[in-house]
Amino acid sequence: MRALVKTAAAPGLELTDVPTPEAGDGQVLIKVLRTGICGTDLHIDGWDAWAARSVEPPRVLGHEFVGEVAGLGAGVTGVQVGDLVSGEGHLVCGTCRNCMAGRRHLCIRTIGLGVHTDGAFAEYVVLPEENVWVHRHEVDLDIAAIFDPFGNAVHTALAFPVLGEDVLITGAGPIGIMAAAVARHAGARSVVITDVSEYRLQLARKIGATLALDVSTASIKDVMPELSMTEGFDIGLEMSGRTEALRDMIAAMRPGGRIAVLGLPTGSGDVPVDMATIVQRMLTLRGIYGREMYETWYSMSVLLQGGLDIGPVVTHRFGYEEHADAFAAARSGQCGKVVIDWTQPLAGQSAGR
Protein backbone atom coordinates (compact mmCIF):
# COMPACT_ATOMS: atom_id res chain seq x y z
CA MET A 1 0.00 0.00 0.00
CA ARG A 2 1.00 3.65 -0.38
CA ALA A 3 2.00 5.47 2.80
CA LEU A 4 3.67 8.70 3.86
CA VAL A 5 6.74 7.66 5.83
CA LYS A 6 9.49 9.24 7.87
CA THR A 7 12.16 7.03 6.34
CA ALA A 8 15.24 8.54 7.99
CA ALA A 9 16.26 10.67 10.96
CA ALA A 10 16.29 13.87 8.91
CA PRO A 11 13.83 16.45 7.58
CA GLY A 12 11.34 15.30 4.96
CA LEU A 13 8.84 12.55 4.24
CA GLU A 14 8.57 9.96 1.49
CA LEU A 15 5.48 8.57 -0.22
CA THR A 16 6.40 4.95 -0.65
CA ASP A 17 5.08 1.39 -0.71
CA VAL A 18 4.90 -0.47 2.60
CA PRO A 19 3.25 -3.77 3.56
CA THR A 20 -0.49 -3.55 4.20
CA PRO A 21 -1.11 -4.19 7.90
CA GLU A 22 -3.29 -7.05 9.11
CA ALA A 23 -5.80 -6.95 11.95
CA GLY A 24 -4.70 -9.09 14.89
CA ASP A 25 -6.80 -10.22 17.83
CA GLY A 26 -9.07 -7.42 18.99
CA GLN A 27 -7.97 -5.15 16.15
CA VAL A 28 -9.73 -3.44 13.25
CA LEU A 29 -8.35 -2.89 9.73
CA ILE A 30 -9.50 0.45 8.31
CA LYS A 31 -9.33 1.69 4.72
CA VAL A 32 -8.32 5.34 5.12
CA LEU A 33 -10.42 7.89 3.22
CA ARG A 34 -9.13 11.25 4.45
CA THR A 35 -6.59 12.51 6.97
CA GLY A 36 -5.91 15.82 8.67
CA ILE A 37 -2.45 17.32 9.11
CA CYS A 38 -1.60 18.12 12.74
CA GLY A 39 1.14 20.27 14.24
CA THR A 40 2.71 17.03 15.47
CA ASP A 41 3.08 15.92 11.85
CA LEU A 42 4.79 19.21 10.99
CA HIS A 43 7.26 18.66 13.82
CA ILE A 44 8.07 15.16 12.55
CA ASP A 45 8.37 16.35 8.95
CA GLY A 46 10.78 19.12 10.02
CA TRP A 47 12.64 16.73 12.36
CA ASP A 48 13.05 19.11 15.29
CA ALA A 49 14.48 18.18 18.69
CA TRP A 50 11.14 16.82 19.94
CA ALA A 51 10.71 14.62 16.87
CA ALA A 52 14.26 13.30 17.16
CA ARG A 53 13.54 12.27 20.77
CA SER A 54 10.11 10.81 20.09
CA VAL A 55 10.08 9.09 16.69
CA GLU A 56 12.10 6.08 15.54
CA PRO A 57 12.21 5.84 11.72
CA PRO A 58 10.89 4.29 9.63
CA ARG A 59 7.46 5.41 10.78
CA VAL A 60 4.16 5.96 8.98
CA LEU A 61 2.81 9.31 10.19
CA GLY A 62 -0.73 10.48 10.87
CA HIS A 63 -3.35 10.25 13.60
CA GLU A 64 -6.26 12.38 12.33
CA PHE A 65 -8.40 10.32 9.95
CA VAL A 66 -11.69 8.91 8.79
CA GLY A 67 -12.04 5.55 7.07
CA GLU A 68 -14.14 2.52 6.35
CA VAL A 69 -13.76 -0.73 8.25
CA ALA A 70 -12.22 -3.28 5.87
CA GLY A 71 -11.44 -6.20 8.17
CA LEU A 72 -11.85 -7.51 11.71
CA GLY A 73 -9.50 -9.45 13.95
CA ALA A 74 -10.64 -12.25 16.22
CA GLY A 75 -12.80 -11.15 19.12
CA VAL A 76 -14.04 -7.88 17.62
CA THR A 77 -17.77 -7.56 18.29
CA GLY A 78 -18.73 -3.86 18.34
CA VAL A 79 -17.53 -2.88 14.87
CA GLN A 80 -18.67 -4.18 11.48
CA VAL A 81 -17.08 -4.23 8.04
CA GLY A 82 -18.31 -1.18 6.15
CA ASP A 83 -18.70 1.05 9.22
CA LEU A 84 -17.53 4.66 8.80
CA VAL A 85 -15.08 5.34 11.62
CA SER A 86 -12.60 7.79 13.08
CA GLY A 87 -9.86 6.80 15.48
CA GLU A 88 -8.66 7.82 18.92
CA GLY A 89 -4.91 8.22 18.42
CA HIS A 90 -3.93 7.69 22.06
CA LEU A 91 -3.39 3.99 22.68
CA VAL A 92 -3.54 3.30 26.42
CA CYS A 93 -2.30 0.43 28.55
CA GLY A 94 -5.59 -0.45 30.27
CA THR A 95 -3.85 -1.49 33.49
CA CYS A 96 -2.48 1.67 35.17
CA ARG A 97 -4.37 3.38 38.00
CA ASN A 98 -6.12 5.89 35.75
CA CYS A 99 -7.06 3.35 33.09
CA MET A 100 -8.52 1.03 35.72
CA ALA A 101 -10.54 3.95 37.08
CA GLY A 102 -11.93 4.80 33.64
CA ARG A 103 -9.74 7.87 33.20
CA ARG A 104 -8.00 6.54 30.12
CA HIS A 105 -7.02 9.98 28.83
CA LEU A 106 -4.65 10.15 31.83
CA CYS A 107 -2.88 6.84 31.11
CA ILE A 108 0.76 7.05 32.16
CA ARG A 109 1.86 4.70 29.35
CA THR A 110 0.05 6.30 26.40
CA ILE A 111 1.36 5.40 22.93
CA GLY A 112 0.75 7.86 20.08
CA LEU A 113 -0.56 6.66 16.73
CA GLY A 114 1.72 7.97 13.99
CA VAL A 115 4.40 8.80 16.54
CA HIS A 116 5.29 5.62 18.44
CA THR A 117 3.43 3.22 16.16
CA ASP A 118 2.52 3.33 12.46
CA GLY A 119 -0.27 5.77 11.71
CA ALA A 120 -2.99 6.72 9.26
CA PHE A 121 -1.15 8.56 6.46
CA ALA A 122 -1.61 5.43 4.39
CA GLU A 123 -4.20 3.50 2.47
CA TYR A 124 -4.85 1.30 5.51
CA VAL A 125 -4.34 1.52 9.26
CA VAL A 126 -4.91 -0.90 12.14
CA LEU A 127 -6.31 0.11 15.53
CA PRO A 128 -7.51 -1.73 18.63
CA GLU A 129 -11.30 -2.00 18.64
CA GLU A 130 -11.53 0.22 21.73
CA ASN A 131 -9.85 3.05 19.79
CA VAL A 132 -12.36 2.96 16.93
CA TRP A 133 -15.23 5.48 16.98
CA VAL A 134 -18.13 4.42 14.76
CA HIS A 135 -20.12 7.28 13.23
CA ARG A 136 -23.73 6.26 13.85
CA HIS A 137 -25.09 9.40 12.22
CA GLU A 138 -24.31 11.11 8.92
CA VAL A 139 -21.16 13.21 9.07
CA ASP A 140 -19.13 15.11 6.47
CA LEU A 141 -15.93 13.21 5.66
CA ASP A 142 -13.75 16.30 6.12
CA ILE A 143 -15.17 16.81 9.61
CA ALA A 144 -14.88 13.12 10.50
CA ALA A 145 -11.22 13.29 9.43
CA ILE A 146 -10.50 15.95 12.06
CA PHE A 147 -12.41 14.43 14.99
CA ASP A 148 -9.11 14.19 16.87
CA PRO A 149 -8.39 17.96 17.00
CA PHE A 150 -12.11 18.70 17.20
CA GLY A 151 -12.01 16.60 20.36
CA ASN A 152 -9.20 18.76 21.75
CA ALA A 153 -11.39 21.82 21.11
CA VAL A 154 -14.46 20.27 22.76
CA HIS A 155 -12.46 18.97 25.74
CA THR A 156 -11.00 22.43 26.33
CA ALA A 157 -14.10 24.50 25.59
CA LEU A 158 -16.27 22.40 27.92
CA ALA A 159 -13.70 21.98 30.70
CA PHE A 160 -15.80 24.49 32.65
CA PRO A 161 -19.47 25.46 32.20
CA VAL A 162 -19.71 28.28 29.66
CA LEU A 163 -23.46 28.94 29.64
CA GLY A 164 -23.96 32.70 29.99
CA GLU A 165 -20.25 33.32 30.52
CA ASP A 166 -17.75 35.63 28.81
CA VAL A 167 -15.05 33.46 27.25
CA LEU A 168 -11.55 34.53 26.17
CA ILE A 169 -9.60 32.31 23.75
CA THR A 170 -5.93 33.09 23.08
CA GLY A 171 -4.73 31.53 19.82
CA ALA A 172 -6.86 31.33 16.66
CA GLY A 173 -5.36 28.17 15.25
CA PRO A 174 -7.84 25.57 14.00
CA ILE A 175 -8.43 24.16 17.50
CA GLY A 176 -8.96 27.62 19.00
CA ILE A 177 -11.40 28.47 16.20
CA MET A 178 -13.34 25.24 16.75
CA ALA A 179 -13.37 25.93 20.50
CA ALA A 180 -14.93 29.33 19.79
CA ALA A 181 -17.70 27.67 17.81
CA VAL A 182 -18.28 25.13 20.59
CA ALA A 183 -18.42 27.78 23.31
CA ARG A 184 -20.96 29.85 21.36
CA HIS A 185 -23.05 26.75 20.64
CA ALA A 186 -22.94 25.83 24.34
CA GLY A 187 -24.41 29.18 25.32
CA ALA A 188 -21.53 31.52 26.10
CA ARG A 189 -22.62 35.16 26.30
CA SER A 190 -19.61 36.35 24.34
CA VAL A 191 -16.52 34.71 22.88
CA VAL A 192 -13.41 36.81 22.24
CA ILE A 193 -10.55 35.15 20.35
CA THR A 194 -7.10 36.69 19.89
CA ASP A 195 -4.27 36.18 17.42
CA VAL A 196 -2.00 38.18 15.09
CA SER A 197 -3.01 36.37 11.88
CA GLU A 198 -5.76 38.24 10.04
CA TYR A 199 -6.44 35.14 7.93
CA ARG A 200 -7.27 33.06 10.99
CA LEU A 201 -9.11 35.88 12.73
CA GLN A 202 -11.36 36.07 9.68
CA LEU A 203 -12.00 32.33 9.98
CA ALA A 204 -12.90 32.84 13.63
CA ARG A 205 -15.39 35.55 12.68
CA LYS A 206 -16.89 33.27 10.05
CA ILE A 207 -17.38 30.47 12.54
CA GLY A 208 -19.16 32.69 15.08
CA ALA A 209 -16.72 34.41 17.45
CA THR A 210 -18.26 37.53 19.00
CA LEU A 211 -15.00 39.41 18.51
CA ALA A 212 -11.75 38.36 16.82
CA LEU A 213 -8.98 40.63 18.08
CA ASP A 214 -5.55 41.32 16.57
CA VAL A 215 -3.47 41.76 19.73
CA SER A 216 -0.63 43.32 17.77
CA THR A 217 -2.80 46.42 17.36
CA ALA A 218 -5.27 46.31 20.27
CA SER A 219 -5.48 45.25 23.91
CA ILE A 220 -7.84 42.67 25.39
CA LYS A 221 -8.86 45.08 28.14
CA ASP A 222 -9.74 47.74 25.56
CA VAL A 223 -12.61 45.63 24.21
CA MET A 224 -14.25 44.79 27.54
CA PRO A 225 -16.45 47.92 27.77
CA GLU A 226 -18.02 47.36 24.35
CA LEU A 227 -19.04 43.87 25.52
CA SER A 228 -20.54 45.28 28.76
CA MET A 229 -17.85 43.61 30.85
CA THR A 230 -16.81 45.22 34.11
CA GLU A 231 -14.94 42.55 36.11
CA GLY A 232 -13.10 40.48 33.50
CA PHE A 233 -13.60 37.23 31.64
CA ASP A 234 -15.22 34.26 33.36
CA ILE A 235 -13.55 31.51 31.34
CA GLY A 236 -10.18 31.46 29.57
CA LEU A 237 -9.05 28.94 26.95
CA GLU A 238 -5.30 29.22 26.26
CA MET A 239 -4.54 27.62 22.88
CA SER A 240 -1.38 29.39 21.69
CA GLY A 241 1.40 28.13 23.96
CA ARG A 242 2.78 31.67 24.12
CA THR A 243 3.91 33.09 27.46
CA GLU A 244 2.56 36.57 26.76
CA ALA A 245 -0.85 35.15 25.85
CA LEU A 246 -1.17 33.33 29.17
CA ARG A 247 0.02 36.42 31.05
CA ASP A 248 -2.56 38.61 29.27
CA MET A 249 -5.27 36.06 29.96
CA ILE A 250 -4.50 35.90 33.68
CA ALA A 251 -4.59 39.70 33.87
CA ALA A 252 -7.97 39.78 32.09
CA MET A 253 -9.79 37.26 34.31
CA ARG A 254 -12.39 38.20 36.91
CA PRO A 255 -11.90 37.03 40.50
CA GLY A 256 -12.73 33.34 40.63
CA GLY A 257 -12.17 32.95 36.88
CA ARG A 258 -11.21 29.61 35.41
CA ILE A 259 -8.61 28.89 32.72
CA ALA A 260 -8.18 25.72 30.64
CA VAL A 261 -4.70 25.45 29.11
CA LEU A 262 -4.20 23.36 25.95
CA GLY A 263 -1.33 25.24 24.26
CA LEU A 264 2.09 23.70 24.81
CA PRO A 265 4.87 26.24 25.41
CA THR A 266 7.82 26.27 23.06
CA GLY A 267 11.44 26.16 24.15
CA SER A 268 12.24 25.06 27.68
CA GLY A 269 8.62 25.01 28.78
CA ASP A 270 9.25 27.53 31.56
CA VAL A 271 6.40 30.05 31.59
CA PRO A 272 6.74 32.86 34.17
CA VAL A 273 3.29 34.02 35.33
CA ASP A 274 1.93 36.43 37.92
CA MET A 275 1.33 34.03 40.80
CA ALA A 276 0.16 36.87 43.04
CA THR A 277 -2.75 37.53 40.69
CA ILE A 278 -3.58 33.82 40.49
CA VAL A 279 -3.65 33.55 44.28
CA GLN A 280 -5.33 36.84 45.12
CA ARG A 281 -8.03 36.45 42.46
CA MET A 282 -8.39 32.75 43.30
CA LEU A 283 -8.06 31.69 39.67
CA THR A 284 -8.22 28.05 38.57
CA LEU A 285 -5.78 26.75 35.93
CA ARG A 286 -6.47 23.33 34.43
CA GLY A 287 -4.22 21.51 31.98
CA ILE A 288 -5.90 19.82 29.01
CA TYR A 289 -4.38 17.05 26.92
CA GLY A 290 -6.16 15.12 24.20
CA ARG A 291 -9.72 13.97 24.68
CA GLU A 292 -11.64 12.22 27.44
CA MET A 293 -12.17 8.68 26.23
CA TYR A 294 -14.90 8.51 25.21
CA GLU A 295 -17.09 11.16 26.75
CA THR A 296 -15.58 13.85 24.51
CA TRP A 297 -16.21 11.71 21.43
CA TYR A 298 -19.86 11.36 22.40
CA SER A 299 -20.09 15.12 22.95
CA MET A 300 -18.58 15.78 19.51
CA SER A 301 -21.18 13.64 17.77
CA VAL A 302 -24.03 15.18 19.76
CA LEU A 303 -22.85 18.72 19.07
CA LEU A 304 -22.77 18.06 15.31
CA GLN A 305 -26.20 16.44 15.43
CA GLY A 306 -27.40 19.52 17.30
CA GLY A 307 -26.41 21.83 14.48
CA LEU A 308 -22.85 22.89 15.35
CA ASP A 309 -21.10 23.83 12.10
CA ILE A 310 -17.29 23.70 12.10
CA GLY A 311 -17.10 23.26 8.32
CA PRO A 312 -15.36 26.58 7.63
CA VAL A 313 -12.30 25.45 9.59
CA VAL A 314 -11.40 23.01 6.78
CA THR A 315 -9.87 25.24 4.11
CA HIS A 316 -7.67 23.02 1.93
CA ARG A 317 -7.80 19.49 0.53
CA PHE A 318 -5.06 17.69 -1.44
CA GLY A 319 -4.58 14.27 -2.98
CA TYR A 320 -2.03 11.95 -1.40
CA GLU A 321 0.56 12.58 -4.14
CA GLU A 322 0.34 16.29 -3.30
CA HIS A 323 1.49 15.75 0.27
CA ALA A 324 4.37 18.23 -0.05
CA ASP A 325 1.94 20.97 -1.09
CA ALA A 326 -0.40 19.96 1.73
CA PHE A 327 2.36 20.24 4.33
CA ALA A 328 3.50 23.55 2.88
CA ALA A 329 -0.05 24.90 3.16
CA ALA A 330 -0.33 23.69 6.75
CA ARG A 331 3.01 25.23 7.65
CA SER A 332 2.17 28.58 6.01
CA GLY A 333 -0.44 29.57 8.58
CA GLN A 334 -2.66 30.84 5.75
CA CYS A 335 -5.08 28.01 6.29
CA GLY A 336 -7.42 26.30 8.70
CA LYS A 337 -7.29 22.52 8.71
CA VAL A 338 -5.61 20.86 5.74
CA VAL A 339 -7.00 17.49 4.65
CA ILE A 340 -5.35 14.82 2.49
CA ASP A 341 -7.68 12.65 0.39
CA TRP A 342 -6.36 9.07 0.28
CA THR A 343 -8.87 7.97 -2.37
CA GLN A 344 -7.24 10.01 -5.14
CA PRO A 345 -3.67 11.04 -5.95
CA LEU A 346 -4.52 14.60 -7.06
CA ALA A 347 -7.07 16.98 -5.62
CA GLY A 348 -5.02 20.19 -5.14
CA GLN A 349 -7.70 22.69 -4.26
CA SER A 350 -9.23 24.60 -1.40
CA ALA A 351 -12.06 22.83 0.36
CA GLY A 352 -14.37 25.43 -1.15
CA ARG A 353 -16.10 26.44 2.06
Same domain, 279 and 327: no
Q: Is residue 295 part of a domain?
A: no
- Cα angle for residues 171, 176, 180 (degrees, 5° grid): 120
Annotated ligand binding at 248? The verdict is no
Q: Identify the three-state secondary structure at position 141.
A: helix
Q: At residue 137, does pLDDT exceed 80?
A: yes
Same domain, 101 and 185: no
Annotated ligand binding at 29? The verdict is no
**DSSP result, 34-103:** EEE--HHHHHHHHT-HHHHHH--SSEE---EEEEEEEEE-TT--S--TT-EEEE--EE--S-SHHHHTT-
Average confidence (pLDDT) over 7-27 = 98
Q: Identify the three-state secondary structure at position 186.
A: coil
Average confidence (pLDDT) over 64-83 = 98
Active site residue 43: yes
When mean pLDDT is compared across 94-98, 199-203, 347-351, the lowest value belongs to 347-351
Annotated ligand binding at 262? The verdict is yes
Same domain, 171 and 278: yes
Q: What is the pLDDT of residues 248-292, one digit of tens each?
A: 999 999 999 999 999 988 766 678 889 999 999 999 999 999 999
Contacts of 352 (CB under 8 A, 6+ apart): none
Same domain, 256 and 317: no
In whole numbers, what is the pLDDT of the chain averaged over residues?
A: 95
We report the CATH number of the domain holding residue 273 as: 3.40.50.720
Same domain, 50 and 131: yes
Q: How much is the pLDDT for 271? A: 81
Q: What is the pLDDT of residues 323-344, one digit of tens each?
A: 999 999 999 999 999 999 999 9
Same domain, 163 and 201: yes
Q: How much is the pLDDT for 347? A: 84
Annotated ligand binding at 61? The verdict is no
Domain that holds residue 241: 155-287
We report the CATH number of the domain holding residue 9 as: 3.90.180.10
Q: How far apart are CA 311 and CA 301, in angstroms?
A: 14
Share of the chain above pLDDT 90, in %: 93
The active-site residue, picked from 7, 16, 35, 43, is 43
Active site residue 170: no
Q: Is residue 267 part of a domain?
A: yes
Q: How much is the pLDDT for 353? A: 45
Is the whole-model pTM more than 0.85? Answer: yes
Q: What is the pLDDT of residues 110-123, one digit of tens each?
A: 999 999 999 999 99
Q: At residue 1, does pLDDT exceed 50?
A: yes
Q: At residue 352, does pLDDT exceed 80?
A: no
The active-site residue, picked from 40, 110, 194, 315, is 40
